Amino acid sequence: GESVGLHLPTLSVQEGDNSIINCAYSNSASDYFIWYKQESGKGPQFIIDIRSNMDKRQGQRVTVLLNKTVKHLSLQIAATQPGDSAVYFCAEIEGYSTLTFGKGTMLLVSP
């Protein structure tokens, strides 16, 4: 069941601002990273991925940055919209193993 007192880190932004969500990963051997967006009551939705041979990848309004030196991943969302409000998870994987998820960050976008 739910752990008493557990809460997700929350990032609150205004509509139109740029958002940056950070993630520290644990396995230095991870070679593939994915950001997922999860809206309430729904499954995680793929946003963008990056392989370890890259340090930056851009999509539509989103950019993922990878710093392998400090094992840090970030997701930048440009011109954040209310529809971007959700929980964002980073995930790492090494080879053909299983995904390891981060704890998640809740993004709240106010009009």
Partner 1 sequence: GAVVSQHPSRVICKSGTSVKIECRSLDFQATTMFWYRQFPKQSLMLMATSNEGSKATYEQGVEKDKFLINHASLTLSTLTVTSAHPEDSSFYICSARGVSGGVQETQYFGPGTRLLVL
Enumerate binding residues for partner 1 (CB under 8 A). Answer: 1-3, 6-8, 32, 34, 36, 41-46, 49, 89, 91, 93, 95-96, 98-99, 101-104
**Please, which residue, 6 or 29, has the CB nearer to partner 1?**
6
Alpha-carbon distance 56 to 45, whole Å?
A: 20
Using the minimum distance from each CB to partner 1, give the nearer residue, 23 or 109.
23
Nearer to partner 1, 25 or 36 (CB): 36
Tell me the closest approach of the beta carbon of residue 16 to partner 1, in angstroms. 26
Instruction: Supply 110's token pair.
Output: 């106010």
Q: How far is the CB of 20 from partner 1 (least distance, A)?
A: 20
Alpha helices in the chain (DSSP H): none
Between 16 and 31, CB nearer to partner 1:
31
Which of these, 45, 26, 23, 31, lies nearest to 93 by C-alpha position? 31
- Nearest approach in angstroms of CB 19 to partner 1 is 20
Identify the H or E element spanning 58.
strand 56-58
Burial class (CB in 10 A: 0-12, 13-18, 19+), 82: exposed
